[in-house]
Each structure stands twice: as structure tokens, then as C-alpha cells.
């Protein structure tokens, strides 16, 4: 498949490159050209051997092409519990509403339920997800069948999965297909014994691999770890050598200066999840402090039961808005920095180094945003306006690996959406009976 996008505003997300009007050319799953129309003509003159016959030429009508958003933390199949139990204290929510249902979910259920989340990612311009859930193999199948890019880590803990399984996921999912990869990780400090974590540290050393977990999401989790080990979870994980090859943490709402020193030293990433942190009353992450410490931040929606939507626009606004109110400073955490978090930093955190920007040789994970919707008018500062005013209504196209999976409200993931919804209702009827 060869696709030519023309007459587009283009935001490549390369450092210091301003938005310009031009073209993006895609051959198979790769971008082969990004530039002005004139540069396009030069390219053709310079490559007389390449005969470019397009399968499709898309007039972007001055709308914006940019790299797809990277949802750097989610639990996709929790669509089942979306809005099933809200406005509850966290412990009630987990113990009475989430865990009992999860105990009944099968790998096949998770395969089907993940697809609803994938649809929503596409509608929000998200082209890759950093996923953690119960059955990594069926999750991988679901994402592969939809043609959606997925990086997984495991939720191994004292009660489910195991270090043996973790290693099997790592060796079997990596390289399995073009859409899936796997990174070492566990659920969280508070659900894992020291012995389990020590075994994990052996794996990170064996594979010289980064390590991820939910870390310091709540104040109580952080305090309890200090009571248990005299260290915060970041300090404790680091003391076990888990971060010797980098990695990062999801949430990281409650960190201190020493945590941030370790994070900087180990090259860790923060994945912030502001919507979830509000809804579950976890707190407001110290984003400004991370930026000042030189720690890269990426953005995740968290799962649909704890957010409840999978909308990168809402998360982007929250990252900057919450930083501003936390610091009581309207200049805190610039919107352009937030756009980098949602694209480039997410890609790097997830190890998707060829999905970060629009440039020749990079994967064709591209979205088109409609600038003619009223929320984008008049056109003053497109980048800031995406963060402050952008919405799912602006996403008119989502392409992953050169294939358009979403266009003008219609999905193309190999299965009819009504069938996906019907399957979810079936599962709901069974699990909630």
C-alpha cells in the first residue's frame, strides 16, 4: 500500500521544527518522504529509479498531520467495568467491584474486551498502547488482529502470573509479530514479595532489560513501603538492582527529591495518568519537578474502569492544567512540552524508537487532526490549541504501520464494531450473573 498525503500542515515533532505545509509519503509500513511539495519534486528527480504509483492520494485540505499519540499506560480489557462502579473509595472499588470480576475473566474474554479499547484509542488518535493485564498472550492476539501497536508488560504479583511466566512472555511475545513487543515488569511493590522482586532482578540482568511497575500511585502505598523496608518503592526497587537497565513507573504521584535523584540517575521514565489520579483521588503528580530534574514524562490514560475514557486530549489538558494549579503558576508546564510527552516521550518510554516523529525511515503511525472544527478556530497556535482545546472530534484519520484504521468516524480493524459490542454484552451477562 502506497499513500500520498498532500496539502497538509505537518507537525513532525522533530526538535525545533515548525509546522509547515507539505506532503508525507508512505510505502508499506514506512514513511519515505516528509517535506514541501517542491522538495517532493526534487525527491522524484533524485530517485528516478523509484516509480511512485499511489494506491491512494489524500488531499488533507490544510488539516494537520502529526505522529500518533502513545498511550503509555492502560489496562484495555477493563472496558468491561467502565462506569460499572464509580464514586467509590479506592479500596471498596478494588475489593468489591474489580477483583471479583477479574477472577472470573478468561483469556478469551480479555481478547474481545480489549478491542473496545482499541476502537477508542483509534478515535482519540492513539497509535500505540503500553498495556498491562492478566493474559498477555490473548492481549497480544487482540492487538495483532486489529493491526494496533502494543507494548506489554506483565502484572505479575504474589497472587497471579509468575516470574517463569514473565520470562516466557518476554521471550515469546517479543518478535512474535510486527505489532507486539514486551518489556519486563511487575504489578507493584505492594503486591509483590521481596523474593519475587529479586527473581525479577535476575531477569533484568539476564536480558539487560528495563523494568516497569505501578509505583508510588498513592500516598498510603508509599508510606507502607517505607514502613516495610525503610525505603520508598523507587528506593527499594533500585536497591534490588531492578533499574540497572532503566525502565520507569506508572503514576509516580508521591515522590521525593531522593526518588527523583535515583530516577534521573537510572534514566527512568515517568508515565503520568492524571485522569485516573483525579477519579481515584490518588493526588496530583509533581510534573514540574520531574521536568526540572530532567526526568522524561510520558502520558497514559490508565484503564477504562479508573478514568473512564481513553482520551489523550483530556489527559494532555490535565497534565498542564493540574501542574499549573499544583504550583499555582499559570506558566507551569508549557503545552508544547505536553505534546512531546504524548508522542515522542511515550514512544521512547515504550521502546518504539521508530514511531516517535514523522521522518523518512520511521513507521507510518500518523494521525490527521481536523483544524476546521470550531474548537480549533481561529487558527492561532496549533500546538498549544491541540493541548488546550483538542478533542476526539478533531481526529479524522488514524494510520498505524501504513494502514488507515480509522477515518471520518469509521473503523477498520477487521471486525464489525456491532459484533465487538455484542460480544462484550455477552461477556457482561455471564460475568455479572
- Considering only residues 58 through 87, tell me which ones interact with a copy of itself, judged by CB under 8 A: 79-84, 86-87
Cα–Cα distance measured from residue 301 to residue 212, given in angstroms and rounded to the nearest whole number: 16
Pairing of strands 64-67, 149-153: unpaired
Instruction: Give me 22's grid cell.
Output: 507539505
Among 72, 280, 349, 367, binds a copy of itself (CB under 8 A): 280
Q: Does 272 bind a copy of itself (CB under 8 A)?
A: no
Among 106, 174, 389, 412, binds a copy of itself (CB under 8 A): 389
φ, ψ of residue 129 to 5 degrees: the values are -125, 140
Q: Does 327 bind a copy of itself (CB under 8 A)?
A: yes
Q: How far is the CB of 236 from a copy of itself (least distance, A)?
A: 24
Q: Does 320 bind a copy of itself (CB under 8 A)?
A: yes
From the CB of residue 48, how many other CB atoms can be counted at a distance below 10 Å? 7
Q: Which of these segments, 131-139, 199-207, 313-321, 354-362, binds a copy of itself (CB under 8 A)?
A: 313-321
DSSP assigned state of 242: T
Q: How far is the CB of 176 from a copy of itself (least distance, A)?
A: 26
Alpha-carbon torsion, ordered 306, 149, 431, 107, to 10 deg: -130
Residue 268 Cα distances to 8, 108, 303, 411, angstroms: 36, 34, 22, 35
Q: Which of these segments, 22-30, 32-40, 204-212, 366-374, binds a copy of itself (CB under 8 A)?
A: 366-374
Q: Does 372 bind a copy of itself (CB under 8 A)?
A: yes
From 400, 399, 394, select the one nearest 371 (Cα to Cα): 394
Q: Which of these segments, 13-21, 198-206, 221-229, 311-319, binds a copy of itself (CB under 8 A)?
A: 311-319
Q: Does 116 bind a copy of itself (CB under 8 A)?
A: yes
Reading across the β-sheet that carries 184-188, which strands appear in turn?
A: 184-188, 211-215, 247-251, 269-272, 297-299
Reading across the β-sheet that carries 69-74, which strands appear in turn?
A: 69-74, 126-132, 149-153, 180-182
Report CA Rg, the chain.
21
Q: What is the phi-psi region of residue 125: left when phi exceeds 0, alpha when psi lies from -120 to 50, beta otherwise?
A: left
Task: Name the burial class of residue 52, with classes exposed (0-12), middle (13-18) and buried (19+) by CB atoms within 10 angstroms of its CB.
Answer: middle
* Neighbouring-strand partners of residue 128: 70, 149
Among 224, 235, 334, 415, binds a copy of itself (CB under 8 A): 334
Q: Does 53 bind a copy of itself (CB under 8 A)?
A: no
Q: How far is the CB of 221 from a copy of itself (least distance, A)?
A: 14
From the CB of residue 46, how many other CB atoms can be counted at a distance below 10 Å? 9
Cα–Cα distance measured from residue 196 to residue 108, given in angstroms and rounded to the nearest whole number: 27
Enumerate residues 286-305 that contact a copy of itself by CB under 8 A: 304
φ, ψ of residue 35 to 5 degrees: the values are 175, -175
Q: Which of these segments, 159-167, 192-200, 228-236, 318-326, binds a copy of itself (CB under 8 A)?
A: 318-326
Q: Which of these segments, 61-69, 97-105, 191-199, 270-278, binds a copy of itself (CB under 8 A)?
A: 270-278
Cα–Cα distance measured from residue 405 to residue 121, given in angstroms and rounded to the nearest whole number: 11
Cα–Cα distance measured from residue 150 to residue 302, given in angstroms and rounded to the nearest whole number: 14
Q: Does 307 bind a copy of itself (CB under 8 A)?
A: yes
Among 44, 103, 226, 417, binds a copy of itself (CB under 8 A): 417
What is the size of the binding site for a copy of itself (CB under 8 A)?
A: 72
Among 272, 308, 343, 345, binds a copy of itself (CB under 8 A): 308
From 87, 316, 73, select the one nearest 215 (Cα to Cα): 73
Among 393, 403, 407, 412, binds a copy of itself (CB under 8 A): 393
Q: Does 45 bind a copy of itself (CB under 8 A)?
A: no
Enumerate residues 156-215 that contact a copy of itself by CB under 8 A: none
Q: How far is the CB of 108 from a copy of itself (least distance, A)?
A: 16
Among 18, 48, 49, 331, binds a copy of itself (CB under 8 A): 331
Q: Does 224 bind a copy of itself (CB under 8 A)?
A: no
Pick the closer one to a copy of itself by CB: 7 or 389.
Answer: 389
From the CB of residue 14, how many other CB atoms can be counted at a distance below 10 Å? 13
From 218, 220, 214, 159, select the one nearest 189 (Cα to Cα): 214
Q: Does 419 bind a copy of itself (CB under 8 A)?
A: no
Pick the closer one to a copy of itself by CB: 121 or 182.
Answer: 121
Q: Does 425 bind a copy of itself (CB under 8 A)?
A: yes
Q: Does 241 bind a copy of itself (CB under 8 A)?
A: no
Q: Which of these segments, 22-30, 36-44, 263-271, 417-425, binds a copy of itself (CB under 8 A)?
A: 417-425
Among 271, 310, 316, 347, binds a copy of itself (CB under 8 A): 310
Pick the closer one to a copy of itself by CB: 181 or 385.
Answer: 385
Amino acid at each position: 500500500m502506497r499513500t500520498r498525503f498532500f496539502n497538509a500542515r505537518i507537525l513532525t515533532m522533530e526538535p525545533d521544527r515548525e509546522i509547515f505545509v507539505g506532503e508525507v509519503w508512505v510505502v508499506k509500513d514506512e514513511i519515505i518522504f516528509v517535506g514541501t511539495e517542491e522538495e517532493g519534486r526534487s525527491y522524484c528527480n533524485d530517485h528516478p529509479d523509484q516509480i511512485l504509483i499511489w494506491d491512494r492520494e489524500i488531499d488533507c485540505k490544510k488539516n494537520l498531520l502529526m505522529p500518533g499519540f502513545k498511550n503509555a499506560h492502560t489496562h484495555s480489557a477493563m472496558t468491561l467495568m467502565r462506569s460499572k462502579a464509580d464514586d467509590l473509595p479506592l479500596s471498596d472499588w478494588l475489593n468489591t467491584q474489580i477483583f471479583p470480576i477479574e477472577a472470573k475473566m478468561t483469556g478469551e474474554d480479555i481478547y474481545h474486551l480489549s478491542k473496545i479499547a482499541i476502537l477508542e484509542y483509534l478515535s482519540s488518535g492513539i497509535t500505540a498502547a503500553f498495556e498491562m493485564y492478566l493474559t498477555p498472550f490473548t492481549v497480544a492476539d487482540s492487538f495483532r488482529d486489529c493491526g494496533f501497536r502494543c507494548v506489554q508488560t506483565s502484572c505479575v504479583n504474589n497472587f497471579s502470573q509468575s516470574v517463569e511466566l514473565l520470562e516466557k512472555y518476554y521471550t515469546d511475545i517479543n518478535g512474535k509479530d510486527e505489532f507486539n513487543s514486551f518489556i519486563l515488569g511487575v504489578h507493584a511493590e505492594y503486591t509483590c514479595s521481596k523474593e519475587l522482586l529479586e527473581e525479577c532482578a535476575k531477569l533484568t540482568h539476564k536480558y539487560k532489560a528495563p523494568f516497569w511497575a505501578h509505583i508510588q500511585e498513592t500516598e498510603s502505598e508509599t508510606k507502607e513501603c517505607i514502613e516495610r523496608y525503610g525505603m520508598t518503592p523507587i528506593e527499594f526497587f533500585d536497591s534490588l538492582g531492578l533499574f540497572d537497565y532503566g525502565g520507569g513507573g506508572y503514576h509516580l504521584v508521591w515522590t521525593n527529591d531522593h526518588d527523583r535523584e535515583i530516577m534521573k540517575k537510572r534514566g527512568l521514565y515517568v508515565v503520568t495518568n492524571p485522569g485516573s489520579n483525579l477519579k481515584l483521588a490518588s493526588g496530583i503528580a509533581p510534573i514540574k519537578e520531574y521536568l526540572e530534574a530532567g526526568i522524561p514524562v510520558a502520558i497514559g490514560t490508565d484503564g477504562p474502569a479508573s478514568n473512564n475514557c481513553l482520551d489523550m486530549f483530556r489527559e494532555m489538558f490535565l497534565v498542564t492544567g493540574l501542574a499549573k494549579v499544583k504550583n499555582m503558576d499559570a506558566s507551569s508546564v508549557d503545552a508544547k512540552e505536553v505534546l512531546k510527552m504524548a508522542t515522542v516521550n511515550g514512544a521512547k518510554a515504550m521502546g518504539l524508537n521508530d514511531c516517535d516523529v514523522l521522518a523518512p525511515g520511521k513507521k507510518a503511525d500518523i494521525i490527521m487532526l481536523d483544524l476546521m472544527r470550531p474548537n480549533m478556530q481561529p487558527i492561532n497556535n496549533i500546538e498549544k490549541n491541540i493541548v488546550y482545546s483538542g478533542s476526539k472530534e478533531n481526529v479524522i484519520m488514524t494510520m498505524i504501520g501504513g494502514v488507515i484504521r480509522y477515518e471520518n468516524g469509521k473503523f477498520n480493524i477487521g471486525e464489525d464494531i456491532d459484533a465487538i459490542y455484542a460480544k462484550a454484552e455477552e461477556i457482561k451477562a455471564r460475568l455479572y450473573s
